[in-house]
């Protein structure tokens, strides 16, 4: 419900900003409004507000469409210990090799994943960091 309110308010502000921006630009083009520093900065700020709201609003739509309705997000899923998960040492070696032998860097990344995603099985953190690094390399 909270996201719907944000979307409704953002859409209203976007609509009003668009109308105001269109009016100001039309007055500038028709010559009824002189181009001064104040009108330039006002028009520029309207463009920035419009573009920012447009980006945020449609980014939110894209994010909601990318996540299936019945499936919880990654942070909400409860993972149980997977009996088919690779051993921790194998994951540590894989991550260390991805980082060019930087063992301390691998430990730091896993520690950060533990802070970001608490209460997950140990192998999940290692797999998460490996997946993130491989995705970032692409």
What does the pLDDT look like over 118-135, one tens digit per residue? 888 888 888 999 999 888
What does the pLDDT look like over 20-65, one tens digit per residue? 888 888 888 898 888 888 888 888 888 888 888 888 777 777 776 6
Q: What's the CA gap between 9 and 57, in Å, rounded?
A: 10
For 90-98, what is the mean pLDDT?
86
Q: Which two tokens stand for residue 133?
A: 């690094």
Claim: this prediction has a pTM higher than 0.85: no
122-137 and 88-98 helices, crossing angle to 10°: 20
Q: What's the CA gap between 3 and 61, in Å, rounded?
A: 10
> Cβ neighbours of residue 60 under 8 Å, at least 6 residues apart?
3, 6, 7
């Amino acid at each position: 419900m909270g996201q719907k309110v944000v979307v409704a308010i953002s859409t209203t502000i976007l609509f009003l900003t668009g109308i105001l921006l269109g009016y100001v630009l039309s007055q500038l083009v028709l010559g009824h409004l002189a181009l001064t520093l104040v009108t330039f900065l006002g028009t520029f700020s309207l463009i920035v507000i419009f573009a920012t709201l447009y980006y945020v609003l449609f980014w939110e739509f894209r994010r909601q469409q990318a996540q299936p309705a019945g499936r919880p997000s990654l942070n909400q899923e409860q993972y149980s210990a997977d009996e088919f998960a690779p051993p921790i040492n194998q994951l540590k070696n894989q991550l260390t090799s991805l980082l060019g032998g930087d063992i301390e860097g691998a430990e730091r990344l896993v520690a950060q994943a533990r802070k970001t995603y608490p209460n997950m099985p140990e192998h999940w953190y290692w797999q998460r960091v490996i997946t993130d690094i491989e995705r970032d390399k692409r």
